[in-house]
């Protein structure tokens, strides 16, 4: 009698394993959902690729990939594409199911950037325009190819021009009275008389590849392309 009871208990313990294809006492390991999307900063009407190849099932295989894309769209498959027609932030819900019918959901946020249509297109006065600044009335543009600085009206007409103090004029900004130019070859930031381009002052750029230049009313900001840094330069201009 006791032997029969023991046999029955053993059969009952083995039954789940026999049904699900595993040994008694072994617990199914759930799948792990994960995905990435590209491009990283998608725009309106731009195709976005969602890739779930990062998802894994440690003791089996994934049999289902389901997507809810946050804008009412849905899809299935390991790799899918989708286009968002409106800018905004969307919650993408993704779920995998393994061969034991265990699921794992995950959510990620995707931000769709508005696609801006230019209201006006001007021809640059030089072949390689780089720095661009606004003085309240006119545009200022540097040209690396010709080592020139141009003053333009909003129709693109050249009002004035003069040679840049260095050979590689890049960053450009306006402090309310004077023009400032960061030169990538000299690694110097120049203060210029806007009427004739005369150098009024200068100082060494903090990095090795000065690029963008801005004035916030109290301090300069200068980017460095090689070091991938942005420096705040305190002091009076």
- pLDDT at position 119: 85
HSE-CB for 155 with a 13 A CA cutoff: 2
pLDDT in tens, 73-102: 999 999 999 999 999 999 999 999 999 999
**Which of 112, 140, 156 lies at the terminal end of a domain, its last residue?**
112
pLDDT of 21 strictly over 50: no
Long-range contacts formed by 218-222: CB under 8 A, 24+ apart:
220/173, 220/180, 220/189, 222/171, 222/182, 222/189
- What SS3 state is found at 14? helix
Helical residues (DSSP H) of the chain, grouped into ranges: 2-20
Number of domain units in the chain = 2
- What SS3 state is found at 56? strand
Domain-located, residue 117: no
pLDDT of 3 strictly over 70: no
Residue 49 CB neighbours (<10 A) = 13
**Which of 84, 112, 140 lies at the terminal end of a domain, its last residue?**
112
This prediction's pTM: 0.58
pLDDT of 1 strictly over 80: no
Element (H, E) at 51: strand 47-51
């Amino acid at each position: 009698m006791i032997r029969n009871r023991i046999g029955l208990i053993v059969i009952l313990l083995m039954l789940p394993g026999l049904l699900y294809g595993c040994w008694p006492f072994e617990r199914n390991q759930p799948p792990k959902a994960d995905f990435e999307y590209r491009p990283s900063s998608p725009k309106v009407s731009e195709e976005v690729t969602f890739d779930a190849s990062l998802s894994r099932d440690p003791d089996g295989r994934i049999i289902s990939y389901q997507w809810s894309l946050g804008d009412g769209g849905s899809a299935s498959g390991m790799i899918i594409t989708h286009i968002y027609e409106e800018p905004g932030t969307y919650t993408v819900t993704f779920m995998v199911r393994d061969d034991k019918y265990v699921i794992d959901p995950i959510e990620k946020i995707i931000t769709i950037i508005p696609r801006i249509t230019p209201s006006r297109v001007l021809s640059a006065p030089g072949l390689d325009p780089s720095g661009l600044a606004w003085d309240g009335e006119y545009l200022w543009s540097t040209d690396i190819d010709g080592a020139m600085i141009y003053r333009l009206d909003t129709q693109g007409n050249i009002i004035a021009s003069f040679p840049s103090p260095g050979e590689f004029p890049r960053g450009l900004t306006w402090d309310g009275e004077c023009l400032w130019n960061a030169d990538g070859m000299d690694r110097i930031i120049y203060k210029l008389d806007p009427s004739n381009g005369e150098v009024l002052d200068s100082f060494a750029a903090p990095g090795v590849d000065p690029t963008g230049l801005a004035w916030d009313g109290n301090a300069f900001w200068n980017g460095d392309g090689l070091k991938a840094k942005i420096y705040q330069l305190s002091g009076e201009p």
